[in-house]
Structure 1
Amino acid sequence: MQLITATASPFARKVRVLLKETGQEGDVEEVMAATLPTAPDPTVTAANPLSKIPALIRPDGPALYDSRVITRFLDARCGGKLYPENQIWDVLTLEATADAMMDAAVLMTYELRLRPEGMRFEDWIEGQWGKIEGALDALNTRWMSHLSGPLDMGQIAVGCALGYLDFRHDARGWRKGRDALDDWFAVFCERESMKATKPA
Protein backbone atom coordinates (compact mmCIF):
# COMPACT_ATOMS: atom_id res chain seq x y z
CA MET A 1 0.00 0.00 0.00
CA GLN A 2 1.01 3.61 -0.50
CA LEU A 3 0.13 6.58 1.69
CA ILE A 4 0.02 9.90 -0.15
CA THR A 5 1.14 12.24 2.58
CA ALA A 6 2.94 15.44 3.56
CA THR A 7 5.02 16.09 6.64
CA ALA A 8 3.16 19.34 7.46
CA SER A 9 -0.37 17.89 7.25
CA PRO A 10 -1.90 17.16 10.67
CA PHE A 11 -4.46 14.87 9.03
CA ALA A 12 -1.71 12.81 7.39
CA ARG A 13 0.21 12.82 10.66
CA LYS A 14 -2.70 11.02 12.34
CA VAL A 15 -2.28 8.16 9.89
CA ARG A 16 1.50 8.12 10.21
CA VAL A 17 1.29 8.00 14.02
CA LEU A 18 -1.23 5.14 13.83
CA LEU A 19 1.07 3.19 11.51
CA LYS A 20 3.91 3.47 13.99
CA GLU A 21 1.77 2.74 17.05
CA THR A 22 0.36 -0.41 15.43
CA GLY A 23 3.58 -1.62 13.81
CA GLN A 24 2.26 -1.31 10.26
CA GLU A 25 4.75 1.21 8.87
CA GLY A 26 6.57 -1.56 7.01
CA ASP A 27 3.37 -2.36 5.10
CA VAL A 28 2.80 1.16 3.80
CA GLU A 29 5.13 3.20 1.60
CA GLU A 30 4.92 6.93 2.28
CA VAL A 31 4.75 9.01 -0.91
CA MET A 32 5.35 12.68 -0.16
CA ALA A 33 3.31 15.20 -2.12
CA ALA A 34 2.78 18.95 -1.97
CA THR A 35 -0.73 20.12 -2.75
CA LEU A 36 -2.50 23.45 -2.26
CA PRO A 37 -6.06 24.58 -2.97
CA THR A 38 -4.65 26.80 -5.70
CA ALA A 39 -2.22 24.20 -7.10
CA PRO A 40 -3.39 20.59 -6.75
CA ASP A 41 -0.74 17.89 -7.04
CA PRO A 42 -1.62 15.39 -9.83
CA THR A 43 -0.42 12.53 -7.62
CA VAL A 44 -2.93 13.51 -4.95
CA THR A 45 -5.77 14.11 -7.40
CA ALA A 46 -5.23 10.70 -8.97
CA ALA A 47 -5.86 9.07 -5.58
CA ASN A 48 -8.43 11.52 -4.21
CA PRO A 49 -10.70 13.51 -6.56
CA LEU A 50 -10.91 16.21 -3.86
CA SER A 51 -7.11 16.72 -4.13
CA LYS A 52 -6.64 16.40 -0.38
CA ILE A 53 -4.05 14.60 1.72
CA PRO A 54 -3.93 11.87 2.99
CA ALA A 55 -4.98 9.14 0.60
CA LEU A 56 -4.25 5.43 0.92
CA ILE A 57 -3.69 3.47 -2.29
CA ARG A 58 -4.59 -0.20 -1.89
CA PRO A 59 -3.59 -3.00 -4.26
CA ASP A 60 -7.00 -4.66 -4.08
CA GLY A 61 -9.49 -1.81 -4.17
CA PRO A 62 -10.02 1.89 -4.80
CA ALA A 63 -7.96 4.41 -2.87
CA LEU A 64 -9.27 5.46 0.52
CA TYR A 65 -9.35 9.11 1.54
CA ASP A 66 -10.30 11.26 4.51
CA SER A 67 -8.07 10.57 7.49
CA ARG A 68 -10.87 9.07 9.58
CA VAL A 69 -11.68 6.52 6.88
CA ILE A 70 -8.01 5.58 6.53
CA THR A 71 -7.40 5.27 10.28
CA ARG A 72 -10.50 3.10 10.74
CA PHE A 73 -9.36 0.86 7.89
CA LEU A 74 -5.80 0.50 9.17
CA ASP A 75 -6.93 -0.03 12.75
CA ALA A 76 -9.38 -2.74 11.69
CA ARG A 77 -6.57 -4.37 9.72
CA CYS A 78 -4.59 -4.90 12.92
CA GLY A 79 -7.38 -5.84 15.30
CA GLY A 80 -9.28 -2.66 16.11
CA LYS A 81 -7.40 -1.61 19.24
CA LEU A 82 -7.52 2.17 18.70
CA TYR A 83 -11.30 2.27 18.22
CA PRO A 84 -12.41 0.15 21.20
CA GLU A 85 -16.07 -0.80 20.92
CA ASN A 86 -16.79 -0.13 24.60
CA GLN A 87 -15.82 3.54 24.15
CA ILE A 88 -16.46 3.99 20.45
CA TRP A 89 -18.73 7.06 20.69
CA ASP A 90 -16.34 8.89 22.99
CA VAL A 91 -13.39 8.06 20.74
CA LEU A 92 -15.21 9.19 17.60
CA THR A 93 -16.41 12.42 19.24
CA LEU A 94 -12.93 13.22 20.49
CA GLU A 95 -11.44 12.50 17.06
CA ALA A 96 -14.09 14.69 15.41
CA THR A 97 -13.27 17.51 17.84
CA ALA A 98 -9.58 17.25 17.01
CA ASP A 99 -10.25 17.06 13.28
CA ALA A 100 -12.41 20.20 13.46
CA MET A 101 -9.54 21.98 15.23
CA MET A 102 -7.17 20.89 12.48
CA ASP A 103 -9.57 22.02 9.79
CA ALA A 104 -9.93 25.48 11.33
CA ALA A 105 -6.18 25.79 11.88
CA VAL A 106 -5.37 24.74 8.29
CA LEU A 107 -7.90 27.27 6.94
CA MET A 108 -6.19 29.97 9.02
CA THR A 109 -2.85 28.92 7.59
CA TYR A 110 -4.17 29.13 4.03
CA GLU A 111 -5.66 32.57 4.68
CA LEU A 112 -2.38 33.86 6.11
CA ARG A 113 0.01 32.22 3.66
CA LEU A 114 -1.87 32.14 0.35
CA ARG A 115 -4.07 35.22 0.31
CA PRO A 116 -2.38 38.58 -0.41
CA GLU A 117 -2.08 40.62 2.77
CA GLY A 118 -4.49 43.33 1.72
CA MET A 119 -7.19 40.76 0.94
CA ARG A 120 -7.09 38.80 4.21
CA PHE A 121 -10.34 38.57 6.13
CA GLU A 122 -9.25 39.13 9.72
CA ASP A 123 -12.70 38.57 11.24
CA TRP A 124 -12.89 35.22 9.47
CA ILE A 125 -9.45 34.25 10.80
CA GLU A 126 -10.53 35.17 14.32
CA GLY A 127 -13.73 33.18 13.84
CA GLN A 128 -11.68 30.09 13.03
CA TRP A 129 -9.52 30.66 16.08
CA GLY A 130 -12.66 31.00 18.20
CA LYS A 131 -13.68 27.49 17.15
CA ILE A 132 -10.27 26.18 18.16
CA GLU A 133 -10.42 27.93 21.53
CA GLY A 134 -13.85 26.44 22.22
CA ALA A 135 -12.49 22.97 21.49
CA LEU A 136 -9.38 23.58 23.61
CA ASP A 137 -11.52 24.62 26.55
CA ALA A 138 -13.71 21.54 26.18
CA LEU A 139 -10.66 19.28 26.06
CA ASN A 140 -9.17 20.93 29.13
CA THR A 141 -12.35 20.72 31.21
CA ARG A 142 -14.30 17.68 29.97
CA TRP A 143 -11.93 15.25 28.33
CA MET A 144 -8.88 14.94 30.56
CA SER A 145 -9.91 11.62 32.14
CA HIS A 146 -10.31 10.11 28.67
CA LEU A 147 -7.09 11.62 27.39
CA SER A 148 -5.26 10.12 30.37
CA GLY A 149 -6.61 6.62 29.70
CA PRO A 150 -5.39 3.85 27.39
CA LEU A 151 -4.22 4.98 23.95
CA ASP A 152 -6.93 5.37 21.33
CA MET A 153 -7.46 7.26 18.09
CA GLY A 154 -9.07 10.21 19.85
CA GLN A 155 -5.88 10.83 21.78
CA ILE A 156 -3.75 10.53 18.65
CA ALA A 157 -5.96 13.03 16.84
CA VAL A 158 -5.80 15.52 19.72
CA GLY A 159 -2.02 15.15 19.89
CA CYS A 160 -1.71 15.87 16.16
CA ALA A 161 -4.07 18.86 16.41
CA LEU A 162 -2.07 20.40 19.25
CA GLY A 163 1.16 19.69 17.42
CA TYR A 164 -0.16 21.58 14.40
CA LEU A 165 -1.08 24.55 16.58
CA ASP A 166 2.51 24.60 17.83
CA PHE A 167 3.81 24.30 14.27
CA ARG A 168 1.70 26.97 12.55
CA HIS A 169 0.04 29.10 15.25
CA ASP A 170 2.38 29.00 18.22
CA ALA A 171 2.12 32.78 18.74
CA ARG A 172 -1.55 32.30 19.67
CA GLY A 173 -0.47 30.67 22.94
CA TRP A 174 -3.05 27.89 23.14
CA ARG A 175 -1.59 26.67 26.47
CA LYS A 176 -2.55 29.76 28.47
CA GLY A 177 -5.17 28.87 31.08
CA ARG A 178 -5.19 25.22 30.01
CA ASP A 179 -2.64 23.65 32.33
CA ALA A 180 -4.17 20.18 32.37
CA LEU A 181 -4.14 19.91 28.58
CA ASP A 182 -0.65 21.40 28.41
CA ASP A 183 0.65 18.84 30.93
CA TRP A 184 -0.97 15.97 29.05
CA PHE A 185 0.47 17.08 25.72
CA ALA A 186 3.96 17.50 27.19
CA VAL A 187 3.93 13.79 28.00
CA PHE A 188 2.07 12.63 24.88
CA CYS A 189 4.37 14.36 22.42
CA GLU A 190 7.30 12.36 23.83
CA ARG A 191 5.91 9.16 22.36
CA GLU A 192 8.25 7.79 19.70
CA SER A 193 5.47 7.91 17.11
CA MET A 194 4.92 11.61 17.78
CA LYS A 195 8.62 12.49 17.76
CA ALA A 196 9.16 10.59 14.50
CA THR A 197 6.32 12.45 12.74
CA LYS A 198 6.86 15.95 14.13
CA PRO A 199 6.45 18.52 11.33
CA ALA A 200 9.45 20.65 10.50
Structure 2
Amino acid sequence: MKLFHSQTSPFVRKVMVTALELGLAGRLERLPAAAHPVNRDAAIVAQNPLGQVPTLLLDDGTVLADSRVICEYLDHLGQGGLFPPAGPARWAALAAQSTGDGLLDAALLVVYETRVRAESERSAAWVAGQHAKIESALQRIEAAAPGFGSRLDIGTITYACALGYLDLRFADLDWRARFPAAAAWFEGFDVRPSMQATKPA
Protein backbone atom coordinates (compact mmCIF):
# COMPACT_ATOMS: atom_id res chain seq x y z
CA MET A 1 0.00 0.00 0.00
CA LYS A 2 1.15 3.51 -0.77
CA LEU A 3 0.12 6.61 1.18
CA PHE A 4 0.44 10.18 -0.05
CA HIS A 5 1.97 11.64 3.08
CA SER A 6 2.68 15.02 4.66
CA GLN A 7 4.47 15.24 8.00
CA THR A 8 2.43 18.23 9.19
CA SER A 9 -1.04 17.12 8.03
CA PRO A 10 -3.15 16.22 11.07
CA PHE A 11 -5.31 13.96 8.89
CA VAL A 12 -2.24 12.05 7.70
CA ARG A 13 -1.13 11.83 11.32
CA LYS A 14 -4.50 10.33 12.22
CA VAL A 15 -3.98 7.63 9.58
CA MET A 16 -0.43 6.92 10.73
CA VAL A 17 -1.43 6.71 14.41
CA THR A 18 -4.16 4.28 13.41
CA ALA A 19 -1.72 2.21 11.34
CA LEU A 20 0.82 2.11 14.18
CA GLU A 21 -1.79 1.08 16.73
CA LEU A 22 -2.85 -1.74 14.40
CA GLY A 23 0.68 -2.87 13.58
CA LEU A 24 0.25 -1.97 9.91
CA ALA A 25 2.60 0.99 9.54
CA GLY A 26 5.32 -1.19 8.03
CA ARG A 27 3.01 -2.06 5.15
CA LEU A 28 2.60 1.60 4.14
CA GLU A 29 5.01 3.09 1.64
CA ARG A 30 4.93 6.83 2.27
CA LEU A 31 4.88 8.97 -0.86
CA PRO A 32 5.99 12.59 -0.45
CA ALA A 33 3.21 15.01 -1.30
CA ALA A 34 2.72 18.76 -1.56
CA ALA A 35 -1.03 19.13 -1.14
CA HIS A 36 -2.12 22.77 -1.40
CA PRO A 37 -5.55 24.41 -1.70
CA VAL A 38 -4.49 26.47 -4.73
CA ASN A 39 -1.32 24.99 -6.24
CA ARG A 40 -2.47 21.39 -6.36
CA ASP A 41 -0.03 18.49 -6.48
CA ALA A 42 -0.52 16.81 -9.87
CA ALA A 43 0.72 13.46 -8.57
CA ILE A 44 -2.06 13.34 -5.97
CA VAL A 45 -4.71 14.68 -8.38
CA ALA A 46 -3.90 11.86 -10.80
CA GLN A 47 -5.13 9.42 -8.14
CA ASN A 48 -7.57 11.56 -6.12
CA PRO A 49 -9.44 14.31 -8.00
CA LEU A 50 -9.62 16.38 -4.79
CA GLY A 51 -5.82 16.45 -4.57
CA GLN A 52 -5.81 15.93 -0.82
CA VAL A 53 -3.77 14.03 1.70
CA PRO A 54 -4.12 11.43 2.95
CA THR A 55 -4.77 9.34 -0.15
CA LEU A 56 -4.13 5.60 0.03
CA LEU A 57 -3.32 3.44 -2.99
CA LEU A 58 -4.13 -0.22 -2.44
CA ASP A 59 -2.15 -2.99 -4.09
CA ASP A 60 -5.11 -3.89 -6.34
CA GLY A 61 -5.31 -0.33 -7.72
CA THR A 62 -8.17 0.84 -5.49
CA VAL A 63 -7.78 4.43 -4.28
CA LEU A 64 -9.11 5.46 -0.88
CA ALA A 65 -9.30 9.12 0.13
CA ASP A 66 -10.31 10.90 3.35
CA SER A 67 -8.87 9.90 6.70
CA ARG A 68 -12.20 8.51 7.89
CA VAL A 69 -12.38 6.04 5.02
CA ILE A 70 -8.69 5.11 5.20
CA CYS A 71 -8.73 4.59 8.97
CA GLU A 72 -11.79 2.36 8.79
CA TYR A 73 -10.19 0.34 5.99
CA LEU A 74 -7.01 -0.12 8.06
CA ASP A 75 -9.06 -1.13 11.09
CA HIS A 76 -10.87 -3.73 8.99
CA LEU A 77 -7.57 -4.96 7.55
CA GLY A 78 -5.95 -5.20 10.97
CA GLN A 79 -9.07 -6.44 12.77
CA GLY A 80 -8.29 -3.89 15.42
CA GLY A 81 -11.59 -2.72 16.88
CA LEU A 82 -10.74 1.00 16.71
CA PHE A 83 -14.14 1.26 15.04
CA PRO A 84 -16.42 -0.56 17.50
CA PRO A 85 -19.28 -2.71 16.19
CA ALA A 86 -22.76 -1.24 15.88
CA GLY A 87 -24.02 0.01 19.21
CA PRO A 88 -23.46 2.87 21.68
CA ALA A 89 -19.66 2.58 21.68
CA ARG A 90 -19.55 2.88 17.88
CA TRP A 91 -21.77 5.94 17.76
CA ALA A 92 -19.75 7.59 20.53
CA ALA A 93 -16.51 6.92 18.66
CA LEU A 94 -17.90 8.18 15.34
CA ALA A 95 -19.41 11.27 16.95
CA ALA A 96 -16.08 12.11 18.56
CA GLN A 97 -14.31 11.55 15.24
CA SER A 98 -16.74 13.97 13.58
CA THR A 99 -16.15 16.65 16.21
CA GLY A 100 -12.38 16.22 16.03
CA ASP A 101 -12.40 16.33 12.24
CA GLY A 102 -14.58 19.44 12.37
CA LEU A 103 -12.10 21.13 14.69
CA LEU A 104 -9.33 20.28 12.25
CA ASP A 105 -11.33 21.50 9.25
CA ALA A 106 -11.85 24.86 10.97
CA ALA A 107 -8.20 25.08 12.00
CA LEU A 108 -7.00 24.33 8.46
CA LEU A 109 -9.35 26.96 7.04
CA VAL A 110 -7.79 29.53 9.38
CA VAL A 111 -4.32 28.45 8.27
CA TYR A 112 -5.30 28.72 4.61
CA GLU A 113 -6.97 32.10 5.12
CA THR A 114 -4.01 33.60 6.95
CA ARG A 115 -1.13 31.95 5.08
CA VAL A 116 -2.36 31.34 1.54
CA ARG A 117 -4.61 34.32 0.79
CA ALA A 118 -3.12 37.73 0.18
CA GLU A 119 -3.63 40.00 3.18
CA SER A 120 -5.99 42.23 1.19
CA GLU A 121 -8.25 39.23 0.47
CA ARG A 122 -8.53 37.93 4.04
CA SER A 123 -11.75 38.06 6.01
CA ALA A 124 -11.51 38.75 9.73
CA ALA A 125 -15.12 37.65 10.16
CA TRP A 126 -14.38 34.33 8.43
CA VAL A 127 -11.36 33.70 10.66
CA ALA A 128 -13.41 34.59 13.76
CA GLY A 129 -16.11 32.17 12.69
CA GLN A 130 -13.62 29.33 12.33
CA HIS A 131 -12.08 30.15 15.70
CA ALA A 132 -15.56 29.96 17.22
CA LYS A 133 -15.88 26.40 15.87
CA ILE A 134 -12.52 25.49 17.39
CA GLU A 135 -13.64 26.86 20.76
CA SER A 136 -16.95 24.97 20.65
CA ALA A 137 -15.16 21.74 19.79
CA LEU A 138 -12.71 22.27 22.64
CA GLN A 139 -15.62 22.76 25.01
CA ARG A 140 -17.07 19.43 23.86
CA ILE A 141 -13.74 17.66 24.38
CA GLU A 142 -13.34 19.27 27.80
CA ALA A 143 -16.75 18.02 28.91
CA ALA A 144 -16.08 14.50 27.66
CA ALA A 145 -12.42 14.08 28.66
CA PRO A 146 -13.00 13.00 32.30
CA GLY A 147 -14.80 9.92 31.00
CA PHE A 148 -12.17 8.85 28.46
CA GLY A 149 -9.97 6.86 30.83
CA SER A 150 -7.79 4.56 28.74
CA ARG A 151 -10.24 4.51 25.83
CA LEU A 152 -8.56 3.91 22.48
CA ASP A 153 -10.74 4.22 19.39
CA ILE A 154 -11.04 6.37 16.31
CA GLY A 155 -12.68 9.12 18.35
CA THR A 156 -9.91 9.52 20.89
CA ILE A 157 -7.25 9.18 18.18
CA THR A 158 -8.92 12.01 16.24
CA TYR A 159 -9.18 14.20 19.34
CA ALA A 160 -5.50 13.64 20.12
CA CYS A 161 -4.42 14.54 16.58
CA ALA A 162 -6.61 17.64 16.68
CA LEU A 163 -5.12 18.84 19.97
CA GLY A 164 -1.65 18.11 18.67
CA TYR A 165 -2.36 20.24 15.61
CA LEU A 166 -3.41 23.14 17.84
CA ASP A 167 -0.02 22.84 19.53
CA LEU A 168 1.67 22.98 16.13
CA ARG A 169 -0.21 25.85 14.52
CA PHE A 170 -2.16 27.66 17.26
CA ALA A 171 0.17 27.92 20.24
CA ASP A 172 -1.27 31.35 21.03
CA LEU A 173 -4.65 29.77 21.86
CA ASP A 174 -3.16 28.45 25.12
CA TRP A 175 -5.89 25.81 25.10
CA ARG A 176 -4.41 23.81 27.97
CA ALA A 177 -4.88 26.63 30.47
CA ARG A 178 -8.55 27.00 29.56
CA PHE A 179 -9.42 23.32 29.13
CA PRO A 180 -7.61 21.50 31.93
CA ALA A 181 -9.51 18.20 31.69
CA ALA A 182 -8.72 17.92 27.98
CA ALA A 183 -5.11 18.86 28.72
CA ALA A 184 -4.74 16.22 31.43
CA TRP A 185 -6.19 13.52 29.18
CA PHE A 186 -4.03 14.56 26.23
CA GLU A 187 -0.89 14.50 28.35
CA GLY A 188 -1.51 10.83 29.06
CA PHE A 189 -2.54 9.90 25.53
CA ASP A 190 0.28 11.80 23.86
CA VAL A 191 2.93 9.53 25.37
CA ARG A 192 1.66 6.56 23.36
CA PRO A 193 4.40 5.34 20.98
CA SER A 194 2.07 5.96 18.02
CA MET A 195 1.74 9.62 18.97
CA GLN A 196 5.43 10.10 19.68
CA ALA A 197 6.39 8.51 16.36
CA THR A 198 4.12 10.84 14.38
CA LYS A 199 4.92 14.19 15.99
CA PRO A 200 5.40 16.82 13.27
CA ALA A 201 9.06 17.75 12.91
Give the shorter-chain TM-score range: over 0.9
Aligned to 1:174: 175
Q: Which runs of 5+ in 1 are unaligned?
A: none
Aligned to 1:144: 146
CA contact (8 A) 2:145 2:185 kept: no
Aligned to 1:110: 112
List structure 1 runs of 4+ shifted beyond 4 angstroms. none
Aligned to 1:81: 81
Report deviation, 1:150: 2.6
Question: SS of the residue aligned with 2:53?
Answer: coil
> Given residue 106 of structure 1, which amino acid in structure 2 is its aligned partner?
L
Aligned to 1:130: 132
Deviations 1:122-177 (A, max 9, x none): 111011010010011011113531x3243111111000000111101111122232
Report deviation, 1:37: 1.1
TM-score (norm 1): 0.95
> Given residue 185 of structure 1, which amino acid in structure 2 is its aligned partner?
F
Question: SS of the residue aligned with 1:175?
Answer: helix
Question: In the aligned structure 1, how far is the partner of 2:84 from the partner of 2:35?
Answer: 33
Match runs of 1:67-78 below 5 Å? 67-78=67-78
> Given residue 99 of structure 1, which amino acid in structure 2 is its aligned partner?
D
> Given residue 70 of structure 1, which amino acid in structure 2 is its aligned partner?
I
1:44 aligns with 2:44: yes
Question: In the aligned structure 1, how far is the partner of 2:174 from the partner of 2:23?
Answer: 34
> Given residue 44 of structure 1, which amino acid in structure 2 is its aligned partner?
I
Deviations 1:27-81 (A, max 9, x none): 1111121111111111211221111110000111420001000000000011141
Aligned to 2:23: 23
> Given residue 16 of structure 2, which amino acid in structure 1 is its aligned partner?
R
* Number of matched pairs: 199
> Given residue 195 of structure 2, which amino acid in structure 1 is its aligned partner?
M
Which stretch has the larger CA shift, 2-11 or 167-176?
Answer: 167-176
